[in-house]
Amino acid sequence: YKLAPKEIEELDKFLDKNLKKKFIRLLKSPMASSFFFIEKKDRKLCSCQDY
């Protein structure tokens, strides 16, 4: 999915935070899962992964 600049910024924050906590890790694989955002009623972005 194409991401808007605001979404890219949120994605970078999400990745940094979760890499530091070791909830996720970097992989070099041809397989991947989709990642996108849903805007909540309070205008904040909620991350969604499609496995």
Domain boundaries, the chain: 5-23+30-50
Contact 10, 45 (CB under 8 A): yes
Query: Residues 1-51: pLDDT tens digits?
Result: 688 899 999 999 999 999 999 998 888 888 777 888 899 999 999 988 876
Hey, what long-range contacts does 12-16 have (CB within 8 A, 24 or more apart)?
14/47
pLDDT at 22: 94
Q: With contact defined as beta carbons under 8 Å apart, do 10 and 47 qualify?
A: yes
Confidence (pLDDT) at 41: 94
Give the per-residue pLDDT at 26: 87
pTM above 0.75, yes or no: no
Would you state the pLDDT for residue 2? 82
